[in-house]
Amino acid sequence: MYDVIIIGGGPAGASAAIYTARGNLKTLVIDKAPNTGALALTHKIANYPGAEGEMTGKELLDIMRRQAESFGATFLQTTITAVDVEDEVKSIYTADGTFEAKAVIVATGSKGRNRMLPGEEKLLGRGISTCATCDGAFYQGKSVAVIGDSEEALEEAHALTKFADKIVFIVPRAELQGVDEVPELPKTEFLFRTRPVEIVGEQSVEGVQIRHADGREELVSVDGVFIFLSGSKPGTDFLEDQVPLDDEGFMILDEFMQSSVPGVFGAGEVRKTPVKQAVVAAADGAIAAMAVDRYINKRSKIVPQYK
């Protein structure tokens, strides 16, 4: 029996584990693929508070996990097959057996699209990104492609105009979803009804092969590619309607990251965050962890960890 089981070992889950373990709660973190999350695949990070210089996302996560382990948290790599979180004791069924806890924090992040573009897997984190706010500064004075079909993609392209010298906005559809009128963006060329065929490069991105509506193909030379195609969704399918979700699959949480199911909390990209950043997910994890401490110890209010 654990005090808390944290599902997901990314920045939200690892941060939560630091706080729960340091708060003397017996903590288990279950992560099926520790090195394949969005942060773990990020090639360079230069804006995480307290982390001077540049490091890879995996290096940052390794530091978080070691810190959590130093306080007593246990990390387990396995696959969850089912959960039962509606009772007072939460049961998590995995390929390595059943684990029980008084509380659960869901920090599974978001799932990518079902199909990647050719070249995407090889170059992810090496010129391919899904966050302009995170990685835009690495393309100061360079050329980038934005591949997207939504208002989110437009907002990210707008953020990139502060850094890139040239932006090629590749839109597979005839219009951007959720956008009534496309604004003029500086240094940006829009290519509607144009499909990305392949991302080209060996050790880093060299360009994007595209196909126009008339079938003509060409190679667009760029230094980086930012992908915001529809399809990314929170990894909450395994909850199987036991926890209230909105129409897009996001957990419905209060300000303390608690769901309406007692003892079930969420953190990171399982909730509809205003921005997707590792530091935001880590903050969610800290809040959820202190809320778990309040829940388990039946406190009337959250007790912050100052020391």
Domain ranges of the chain: 2-111+232-296, 120-228
User: 120-228 is classed in which CATH architecture?
Assistant: 3-Layer(bba) Sandwich (3.50)
How far is residue 267's CA from residue 264's CA, in Å, rounded to a whole number? 11
**Per-residue pLDDT tens for 126-184?**
899 887 877 889 999 999 999 998 877 898 899 899 999 999 999 999 988 778 888 88
* pLDDT at residue 231, as a whole number: 63
pLDDT at 226 over 70: yes
Mean pLDDT of 103-113: 87
Task: Using pLDDT thresholds of 50, 70 and 90, give the confidence band for residue 230.
Answer: low
Q: What is the mean pLDDT of residues 70-89?
A: 94
85 HSE (CA, 13 A, CB side): 26
CB 9 within 8 A of CB 65: yes
The whole-number pLDDT of residue 307 equals 58
For residue 302, the model assigns a pLDDT of 87
**pLDDT score for 89:** 97
- State residue 113's pLDDT score: 66
Domains 2-111+232-296 and 120-228 share a fold: yes
Q: Does domain 2-111+232-296 have CATH number 2.60.40.10?
A: no
Q: Looking at residue 35, what is its pLDDT?
A: 78
pLDDT given at position 112 = 65
Q: What does the alpha-carbon distance between residue 103 and residue 91 come to, in Å, rounded to a whole number?
A: 10
Q: What is the pTM of this model?
A: 0.75
